């Protein structure tokens, strides 16, 4: 190939690449505008259409939305990693910063010199601003509103004023009057709080292959000292957890393959009754009457329904003595419900104990289905679809103080508040471009708050819903937040965290050396 021909080929290749980039940019813009239009149509329809007409419209809009989101993510790097938030009621958190979470100042300085050698006279903030980026706000010790405020908090400079005569619970919460305690546990998968009992499940043992379960008594005045460890007979790590202290039940499931329920009651020690539940179908849900299930009796060794070796064969756990994995066959569900509205459910919650409806979040990492719906369990139909999600929903929370609302957190970095009667969010908080695994919607001292657990931001952030402003951030060190629970009776926040810089063998990576300030003389150290 001649030199001129080679140059022509390179020029043509560059033109094709530029045209393709322009096309993908236009496609991304088109998809965002289409989603915005879909949201507007659904919002207008909710105010004008009859109930059945609205249900049909929302079903169509939800299916279109899922296709748009799947196309927008696509498999091409020129499309979106995180889709821009399109909801008309969205707020972007300006305090987090688009770069700098865990990034050293030296690296930012190097980037500045490489990108623009003439920018060395600029401040780092001005340089990043010129690039359309920003860093998180610096820690300001003087921002603490009270001597009782924990030192592990950073307040937002534009936070709402806290009146001195405010409700004591609100005053303490808004001012971050916190004493922080911690306990080392295996890698946390989930936590659940009911009454005075906190259940923590996770993964431990060799390469984190073993399911673990710890129960803590967390009534007022107690620390993490009052705890028990419960043997878990599952063949794999459990990720879903429900706790009912009134019935002394802990429910866990492993990868949606099978579920087991533990009944715990305390006499002189701890006695256990074990239950086993069968696998769940992706095409519906299964319901068990807990009062009629066969048990493993008081000592937990009785086999229910015969024995099966399939759990041992499919497990990575060691079972040398034959008692690590419980091998009873499944107990059949009391009732099965199957319908399109009950298919591919990733997470769900009851709207209330009396209600026959449940709010479900659709999809998983293997599904292109997104969004949420309120499903009537009698008709097995979605009474309303909730639009606006740009990633799979990780958790749904209701609020006893306001049963007409619920909250979702998703893998698009957004927490959304909904009115159960409206298809679009009343408020969408764009926390950051990160996966959000946990969030809470709580009323403290009569005021609504949203509590968000960050992953790449490695923090817990508290938002004032009425003011639509972030109050403060609680540091979690080098730990990503996996799960959250709030105990209103003791004003206690529980956060299950995991350090991504520690691998399954306990090795550390991605750390940088700390810079210790050098004192002028030894006397300063001794003072």
Domain boundary among 307, 336, 365: 336
Q: For residue 266, is pLDDT > 60?
A: no
The better pLDDT of the pair 149, 113 is held by 149
pLDDT of residue 276: 42
Tokens of 194: 């009911």
Q: How much is the pLDDT for 408?
A: 96
Please give the pLDDT value at position 326: 72
Q: Which of 21-35, 148-162, 475-489 has the lowest mean pLDDT?
A: 21-35
Q: Which domain holds residue 127?
A: 104-135
Q: Give me the mean pLDDT over the 424-443 stretch.
A: 91
DSSP string over 33-46: HHHHHHHHHHHHHH
Tell me, yes or no, whether 343 and 271 share the same domain: no
| Claim to verify: residue 130 and residue 147 sit in the same structural domain | no
- 472 and 527 fall within a common domain: yes
Express each pLDDT in 31-86 by its tens digit: 667 767 777 777 777 778 888 888 888 888 888 888 877 777 765 555 556 666 76
- Confidence class of residue 218 from pLDDT cuts 50, 70 and 90? confident
- State the pLDDT at residue 517: 59
Last residue of a domain, one of 311, 336, 361: 336
pLDDT of residue 508: 78
- 491 and 370 in a single domain? The answer is yes
Same domain? 64 vs 157 = no
- What's the number of domains the chain is made of? 4
Q: Kindly give the residue spans of alpha helices, DSSP state H, lying in 175-328.
A: 310-313
| CB contact at 8 A, 154 and 139 | yes
Taking the model in full, what pTM does it have? 0.80
Question: Average pLDDT in the 201-223 region?
Answer: 78
In this predicted model, what pLDDT tens digit does every residue of 112-136 receive, in sequence order? 666 666 666 666 667 666 665 666 6
CATH number of the domain that residue 372 is part of? 2.40.128.630
Examine the fold and report which residue of 304, 321, 336 is the final residue of a domain before the chain moves on. Answer: 336
H/E segment holding residue 61:
helix 51-73
Q: Are residues 331 and 359 in the same domain?
A: no
Mark whether 123 and 188 lie in a shared domain. no
Task: Say yes or no: 408 and 526 in one domain.
Answer: yes
Predicted confidence (pLDDT) at residue 268 exceeds the cutoff of 50: no
- Whether residue 356 is found in the same domain as residue 490: yes
How would you label 280-298 residue by residue, b for 16+ Cβ within 10 Å and e otherwise?
beeebbbebeeeebebbee
Looking at the structure, tell me whether residues 380 and 331 fall in a common domain.
Answer: no
Predicted confidence (pLDDT) per residue in 462-475, tens digit: 999 999 999 999 98
Q: What percent of the chain has pLDDT over 90?
A: 16
Instruction: List, in order, residues 6 or more apart from 441 with CB less than 8 Å away.
Output: 397, 398, 399, 405, 406, 407, 417, 448, 449, 450
pLDDT at residue 322 greater than cutoff 70: no
Q: What is the pLDDT of residue 330?
A: 67
* pLDDT of the residue at 54: 86
The reply to whether 118 and 74 lie within a common domain is no
């Amino acid at each position: 190939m001649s030199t001129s021909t080679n140059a022509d080929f390179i020029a043509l290749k560059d033109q094709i690449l530029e045209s393709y980039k322009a096309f993908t940019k236009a496609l991304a813009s088109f998809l965002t505008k289409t989603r915005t239009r879909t949201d507007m149509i659904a919002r207008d329809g909710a105010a004008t259409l009859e109930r059945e007409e609205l249900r049909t419209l929302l079903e169509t809009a939800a299916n279109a939305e899922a296709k748009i989101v799947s196309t927008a993510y696509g498999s091409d790097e020129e499309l979106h990693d995180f889709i821009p938030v399109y909801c008309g009621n969205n707020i972007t958190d300006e305090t987090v910063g688009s770069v700098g979470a865990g990034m050293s100042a030296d690296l930012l300085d190097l980037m500045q010199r490489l990108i623009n050698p003439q920018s060395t006279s600029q401040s780092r903030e001005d340089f990043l601003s010129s690039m359309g980026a920003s860093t998180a706000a610096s820690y300001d010790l003087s921002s603490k509103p009270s001597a009782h405020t924990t030192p592990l908090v950073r307040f937002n400079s534009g936070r709402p004023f806290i009146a001195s005569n405010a409700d004591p619970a609100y005053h303490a919460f808004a001012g971050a009057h916190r004493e922080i305690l911690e306990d080392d546990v295996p890698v946390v998968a989930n936590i659940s709080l009911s009454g005075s009992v906190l259940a923590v499940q996770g993964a431990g043992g060799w390469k984190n292959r073993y399911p673990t379960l710890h129960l803590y008594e967390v009534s007022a005045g107690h620390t993490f000292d009052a705890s028990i460890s419960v043997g878990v007979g599952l063949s794999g790590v459990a990720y879903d957890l429900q706790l009912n202290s009134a019935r002394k039940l802990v429910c866990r499931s492993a990868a949606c393959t099978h579920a087991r329920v533990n009944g715990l009651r305390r006499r002189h020690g701890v006695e256990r009754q074990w239950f086993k539940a069968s696998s769940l179908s992706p095409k519906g849900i299964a319901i068990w009457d807990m009062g009629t299930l066969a048990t493993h009796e008081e000592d937990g060794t009785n086999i229910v329904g015969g024995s099966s070796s399939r759990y041992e064969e499919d497990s990575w756990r060691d079972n040398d003595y034959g008692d690590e994995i419980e091998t009873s066959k499944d107990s059949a569900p009391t009732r099965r419900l199957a319908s399109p509205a009950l298919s591919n459910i990733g997470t769900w919650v009851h709207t209330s104990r009396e209600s026959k409806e449940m709010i479900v979040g659709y999809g998983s990492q293997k599904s292109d289905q997104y969004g949420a719906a309120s499903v009537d369990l009698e008709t097995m139909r979605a009474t309303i679809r909730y639009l606006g999600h740009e990633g799979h929903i990780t958790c749904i929370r209701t609020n006893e103080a306001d049963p007409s609302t619920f909250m979702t957190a998703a893998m698009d970095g957004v927490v959304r508040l909904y009115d159960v009667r409206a298809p679009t969010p009343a408020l969408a908080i764009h926390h950051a471009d990160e996966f959000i695994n946990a969030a809470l919607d709580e009323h403290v001292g009569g005021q609504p708050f949203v509590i968000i657990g960050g992953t790449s931001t490695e923090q817990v952030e508290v938002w004032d819903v009425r003011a639509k402003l972030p109050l403060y951030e609680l540091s979690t060190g080098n730990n990503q937040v996996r799960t959250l629970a709030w105990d209103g009776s003791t004003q206690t926040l529980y956060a299950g965290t995991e350090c991504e810089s520690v691998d399954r063998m306990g090795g550390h990576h991605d750390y940088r050396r700390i810079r210790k300030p050098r004192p002028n003389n030894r006397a300063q150290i001794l003072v």
